[in-house]
C-alpha cells in the first residue's frame, strides 16, 4: 500500500522535544521579562558546566553568566524592535569561570499571553580563540616590522606590493593605500625593476631564501642594500616573495676604508721588511769586506758566523716582502734558502756533500721563524765546519714534520765523524751549542736531543704558533 506523505500526522510536541534534545547547539527557553530559564537542552548543560537542576528557574543574571551585562540589554532591545536577531556574537561565563563564545540567533515568541525568548547558540569558542591568537600574532608581527631597522615587504612578483612596513613607505614617500595599488614599474626605475624581477624568479625557482647586494640611486647619492628574499607559498598554489632589506651603505664605506687602510699598512710593512732585508745585507757585506782584508783566521771565522746569522734573519724578511700573507713564513722554502747560503759560504772544493729534505708545508710566525732559522743556521754551519773533516763525501738529512696537534719536530743529521760522547747539554762548552740550547729551551720552550747514529743527530721538538 502506497503511503501519501502529505497524509502523515506527527505529534508536534514530541517532534519538537526530539529536535530540542538532539540539536548540536545550545537551546534555551527563557521568560522575556525576568530572564528566568524555563527549559535548556543537554548541549546547553554540557557547554555551560551546569546541571539542568542548577539552571531551571534561575536567571542568567543570577548565575552571573554574562561576561558583559550590556549584551543582555542589547538583546532585549533588538527583540523588542525586530522580534528576532541572527548570528549575534555574545560571550557567556561558564560555571568554572572560563568564557564561552557563541554565535546566537533568537526569536521573541508568545505563549499563553506571556512573552518568551527561544535562543539557539552555536559554540564558536575555539574559532574565537584562534581569531584572537591570529590577531595577537598579527599585532606582534606588525610591532616587529614597524620597529625593524630596515625595509620589509611581501610582494606579488612582477605586479605589486602586498605588504610593506613603515620604513618601506618612508623610503618611497607614499601611503600604504596608494603604494599597494600601484604596480612596481610605476615607481621603481627600469634597471632596478628588471633586477628585482630576476631576483624574485631565482628565489621562486630555487624555492629557498637567497640574499642579494644591490645599489639604488638616492638624493644623497647611491645607497648599498643587503636584501634577503624568500618564497611564501599560498593555499591556491601561488607564490609570493617576502623580503627584508638593510641599508649597508655605512658598513660598506667602513669596510672599504678598512680595506684601504689595511692595504696601506701591508704596503708599509712590506716596505719595512724590504728595508730590513737590505740593511741586513749591507751589514753582512761590510762584515765580509772587513774579513777579506784580515789575515787572522779567527777573525774571518767570526765574520762568517756573523754573516750566517744576519742572513738567517734577512731571508725571513725577504720572504715576507715577497708574500701577500705578511704574518707567516713558509718554513720549507726558508730552510732551503738557508741551506743554499750556508753551503755556498762553507763550500770546500774537492768535497761532495749531498742533502736530503723531508719538510712538510708548515708555516710559522716571524716570532718563531727567526729563532728557529738561527738554530738551523748554527747546526748546518757546525756540520760543514766539523762533520766531514776526515772524509771527502758526506750526506745531510733535514726533516720537519708535525707530531701532535700544535707541535713540530725538526731533525738535522749527518753521516760525519759524530759528536763527542762526553758532551754536557746542561752546560755546553762551545758557543754554538750554548746558542742552540738557549734558543730552543728558553726562547722557543722546546726540547733538544743530540746523539750519535752513524753521525750526529740534532732532534728538536717545540710548540708552533703557525699552521
CA dihedral 298→304→309→314, nearest 10 degrees, is 150
Identity of the highest mean pLDDT range in 10-24, 184-198, 237-251 = 237-251
Q: Is residue 159 part of a domain?
A: yes
Pairing of β 447-452 and β 223-233: unpaired
- Distance from C-alpha of 449 to C-alpha of 459, rounded to nearest angstrom: 5
Scan for cell 756540520, then name that residue.
383
Q: Is residue 138 part of a domain?
A: no
Looking at the structure, tell me whether residues 270 and 237 fall in a common domain: no
Q: Across the beta sheet with 447-452, what order do the strands follow?
A: 352-359, 393-402, 407-414, 456-463, 447-452
User: Where residue 354 falls among pLDDT bands split at 50, 70, 90?
Assistant: very high
Looking at the structure, tell me whether residues 98 and 29 fall in a common domain: yes
Looking at the structure, tell me whether residues 242 and 266 fall in a common domain: no
As a residue count, the chain comes to: 467
Question: pLDDT (tens digit, 9 = 90+) per residue, 65-122?
Answer: 999 989 998 999 999 999 999 999 999 999 999 999 999 999 999 988 899 999 999 9
Give me the domain span that covers residue 81: 10-125
**pLDDT, the chain, mean:** 80
- Please give the C-alpha separations between residue 73 and each of 66, 85, 200, 220, in angstroms, as whole numbers: 11, 14, 55, 62
Q: Is the pLDDT of residue 7 over 50?
A: no
- Distance from C-alpha of 125 to C-alpha of 352, rounded to nearest angstrom: 100
Q: How many domains does the chain have?
A: 4
Q: Is the pLDDT of residue 288 over 50?
A: yes
Q: Are 319 and 336 in contact (CB under 8 A)?
A: no
Q: Is the pLDDT of residue 55 over 70?
A: yes
80: cell is 523588542
Question: pLDDT (tens digit, 9 = 90+) per residue, 17-35?
Answer: 777 778 889 999 999 988 8
pLDDT at 263: 63
125: cell is 569558542
Looking at the structure, tell me whether residues 277 and 227 fall in a common domain: no
Looking at the structure, tell me whether residues 65 and 31 fall in a common domain: yes
What percent of the chain has a predicted confidence (pLDDT) above 70? Answer: 81
pLDDT at 78: 93
Q: Which residue has the higher pLDDT, 267 or 211?
A: 211
Looking at the structure, tell me whether residues 383 and 431 fall in a common domain: yes
Looking at the structure, tell me whether residues 20 and 119 fall in a common domain: yes
Pairing of β 160-164 and β 328-330: unpaired
Q: Which residue has the higher pLDDT, 63 or 326?
A: 63
73 phi, psi to nearest 5 deg = -65, -35
Q: Across the beta sheet with 26-31, what order do the strands follow?
A: 37-40, 26-31, 114-123, 99-111, 84-93
Looking at the structure, tell me whether residues 428 and 357 fall in a common domain: yes
Q: Is residue 338 part of a domain?
A: no
For the segment 239-245, the average pLDDT, to the nearest whole number, is 88
Q: Is the pLDDT of residue 307 over 90?
A: no
pLDDT at 138: 83
Nearest partner of 157 among 200, 118, 120, 125, judged by Cα: 200
pLDDT at 425: 73
Looking at the structure, tell me whether residues 263 and 371 fall in a common domain: no
Q: Are 123 and 144 in contact (CB under 8 A)?
A: no
pLDDT at 303: 56
Q: Is residue 229 part of a domain?
A: yes
CA dihedral sign, ordered 47, 53, 59, 63 = negative
Question: pLDDT (tens digit, 9 = 90+) per residue, 125-150?
Answer: 999 888 888 888 888 878 887 888 88
For the segment 12-19, the average pLDDT, to the nearest whole number, is 72
> Which of 213, 229, 247 represents a domain boundary (last residue)?
247
Pairing of β 239-247 and β 456-463: unpaired
Q: Is residue 369 part of a domain?
A: yes
CA dihedral sign, ordered 58, 62, 68, 73 = positive
Question: pLDDT (tens digit, 9 = 90+) per residue, 250-275?
Answer: 777 777 777 776 665 565 456 555 55
Q: Is residue 102 part of a domain?
A: yes
Q: Is the pLDDT of residue 123 over 60?
A: yes
Alpha helix locations (H) across 62-149?
Answer: 70-82, 125-147
pLDDT at 9: 47
> Which of 326, 358, 390 represents a domain boundary (last residue)?
326
**CATH code assigned at 54:** 3.30.450.20
**CATH code assigned at 386:** 3.30.565.10
Looking at the structure, tell me whether residues 116 and 199 fall in a common domain: no
User: Where residue 36 falls among pLDDT bands split at 50, 70, 90?
Assistant: very high
For the segment 329-334, the average pLDDT, to the nearest whole number, is 83
Looking at the structure, tell me whether residues 99 and 187 fall in a common domain: no
Q: Is the pLDDT of residue 448 over 70?
A: yes
Looking at the structure, tell me whether residues 117 and 24 fall in a common domain: yes
For the segment 428-441, the average pLDDT, to the nearest whole number, is 83
How far from the centroid of its chain's Cα atoms is residue 143's Cα? 24
Considering the entire predicted model, what is its pTM?
0.43
Amino acid at each position: 500500500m502506497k503511503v501519501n506523505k502529505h497524509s502523515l500526522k506527527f505529534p508536534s510536541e514530541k517532534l519538537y522535544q526530539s529536535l530540542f534534545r538532539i540539536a548540536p547547539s545550545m537551546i534555551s527557553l527563557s521568560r522575556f521579562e525576568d530572564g528566568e530559564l524555563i527549559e535548556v537542552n543537554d548541549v546547553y548543560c554540557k557547554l555551560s558546566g551546569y546541571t539542568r537542576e542548577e539552571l531551571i528557574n534561575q536567571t542568567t543574571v543570577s548565575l552571573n553568566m554574562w561576561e558583559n551585562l550590556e549584551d543582555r540589554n542589547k538583546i532585549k532591545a533588538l527583540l523588542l524592535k525586530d522580534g528576532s536577531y541572527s548570528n549575534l556574537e555574545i560571550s557567556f561565563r561558564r560555571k568554572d569561570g572560563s568564557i564561552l563564545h557563541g554565535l546566537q540567533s533568537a526569536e521573541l515568541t508568545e505563549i499563553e499571553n506571556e512573552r518568551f525568548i527561544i535562543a539557539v547558540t552555536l559554540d564558536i569558542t575555539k574559532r574565537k580563540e584562534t581569531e584572537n591568537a591570529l590577531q595577537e600574532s598579527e599585532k606582534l608581527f606588525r610591532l616587529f616590522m614597524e620597529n625593524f631597522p630596515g625595509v620589509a615587504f611581501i610582494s606579488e612578483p612582477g605586479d605589486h606590493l602586498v605588504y610593506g612596513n613603515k620604513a618601506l613607505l618612508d623610503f618611497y614617500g607614499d601611503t600604504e593605500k596608494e603604494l599597494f595599488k600601484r604596480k612596481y614599474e610605476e615607481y621603481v626605475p627600469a634597471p632596478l625593476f628588471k633586477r628585482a624581477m630576476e631576483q624574485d624568479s631565482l628565489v621562486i625557482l630555487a624555492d629557498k631564501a637567497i640574499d642579494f647586494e644591490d645599489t639604488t640611486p638616492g638624493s644623497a647619492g647611491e645607497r648599498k642594500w643587503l636584501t634577503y628574499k624568500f618564497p611564501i607559498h599560498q593555499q591556491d598554489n601561488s607564490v609570493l616573495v617576502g623580503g627584508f632589506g638593510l641599508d649597508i651603505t655605512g658598513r660598506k664605506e667602513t669596510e672599504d676604508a678598512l680595506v684601504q687602510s689595511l692595504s696601506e699598512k701591508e704596503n708599509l710593512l712590506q716596505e719595512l721588511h724590504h728595508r730590513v732585508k737590505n740593511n741586513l745585507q749591507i751589514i753582512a757585506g761590510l762584515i765580509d769586506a772587513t774579513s777579506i782584508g784580515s789575515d787572522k783566521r779567527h777573525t774571518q771565522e767570526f765574520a762568517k758566523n756573523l754573516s750566517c746569522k744576519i742572513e738567517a734573519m734577512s731571508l725571513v724578511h725577504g720572504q715576507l716582502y715577497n708574500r701577500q700573507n705578511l704574518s707567516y713564513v713558509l718554513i720549507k722554502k726558508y730552510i732551503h734558502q738557508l741551506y743554499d747560503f750556508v753551503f755556498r759560504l762553507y763550500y770546500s772544493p774537492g768535497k761532495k756533500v749531498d742533502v736530503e729534505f723531508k719538510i712538510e708545508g708548515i708555516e710559522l710566525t716571524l716570532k718563531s721563524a727567526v729563532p728557529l732559522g738561527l738554530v738551523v743556521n748554527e747546526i748546518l754551519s757546525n756540520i760543514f765546519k766539523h762533520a766531514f773533516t776526515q772524509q771527502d763525501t758526506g750526506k745531510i738529512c733535514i726533516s720537519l714534520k708535525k707530531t701532535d696537534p700544535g707541535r713540530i719536530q725538526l731533525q738535522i743529521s749527518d753521516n760525519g765523524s759524530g759528536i763527542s760522547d762526553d758532551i754536557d747539554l746542561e752546560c755546553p762548552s762551545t758557543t754554538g751549542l750554548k746558542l742552540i740550547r738557549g734558543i730552543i729551551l728558553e726562547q722557543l720552550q722546546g726540547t733538544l736531543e743530540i746523539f750519535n747514529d752513524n753521525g750526529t743527530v740534532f732532534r728538536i721538538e717545540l710548540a708552533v704558533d703557525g699552521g
